[in-house]
């Protein structure tokens, strides 16, 4: 998998190394293996599905989360940037590694009490995951785990989201 992720220096701004996953997405065997591994984070040790929904964060979380939801046989919910969803939404603003953002989810997309797996491409500072977890909680649901393609270990993502307690984090690769 690591050979299919390309570093792009100074994107989207100087000092940031962007992890380009498009070569991975273009490789059907690599993409299938990643989807299967991410979906495994929504199962217990016996292989039983233990989540009701998969939530993917804009935009690469959509690409990875939707097929993981299909593999689990559960629904997929997109978390979008502000102003992209029609109707009633919950919104959370937060800090990024290199700026600020607001995320939204439809108020009715996740039912109270549902168990949710968050899927994204990268766990960096943890801001996007923490904001998404807040959105899930605003719906009355519980985030049970996070599954990411890669974790940037030199940034405080796990500490930010409180990993190690009630929240399981699965990272397919750590850099």
DSSP 8-state symbol, 87: S
Q: Which of 15, 14, 6 is nearest to 121 (CA)?
A: 6
Burial of 110 (0-12, 13-18, 19+ CB in 10 A): buried
Phi, psi of 164 (to 5 degrees): 105, -20
Taken in order 50, 133, 121, 111, the sign of the CA dihedral is positive
Reduced DSSP (H G I as helix, E B as strand, rest coil) percent helix, strand, coil of the chain, to 5: 30, 40, 35
The reply to whether omega before 98 is within 30° of 0 (cis) is: no
> Of the listed 3, 60, 80, 158, which one is catalytic?
60
> Of the listed 43, 58, 80, 97, which one is catalytic?
97
Clarify whether 3 is annotated catalytic.
no
Q: Where are the beta strands (DSSP E) in 3-52?
A: 6-9, 17-20
What CA dihedral angle connects 72, 162, 62 and 22, to 10 degrees? Answer: -110
Clarify whether 80 is annotated catalytic.
no
User: Catalytic amino acids?
Assistant: 60, 97
């Amino acid at each position: 998998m690591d050979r299919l992720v390309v570093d792009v220096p100074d994107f989207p701004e100087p000092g940031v190394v962007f992890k380009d996953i498009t070569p991975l997405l273009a490789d059907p065997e690599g993409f299938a293996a990643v989807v299967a591994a991410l979906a495994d984070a929504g199962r217990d040790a016996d292989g039983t599905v233990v989540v009701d929904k998969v939530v993917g964060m804009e935009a690469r979380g959509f690409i990875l989360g939707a097929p993981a939801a299909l593999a689990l046989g559960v629904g997929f919910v997109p978390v979008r940037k502000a102003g992209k969803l029609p109707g009633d939404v919950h919104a959370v603003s937060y800090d990024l590694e290199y700026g600020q953002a607001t995320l939204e989810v439809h108020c009715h997309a996740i039912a109270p009490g549902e168990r949710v797996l968050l899927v994204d491409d990268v766990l960096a500072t943890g801001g996007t995951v923490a904001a998404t977890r807040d959105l899930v909680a605003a719906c009355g649901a519980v985030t049970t785990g996070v599954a990411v393609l890669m974790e940037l270990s030199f940034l405080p993502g796990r500490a930010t989201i409180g990993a190690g307690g009630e929240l399981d984090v699965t990272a397919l690769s750590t850099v």
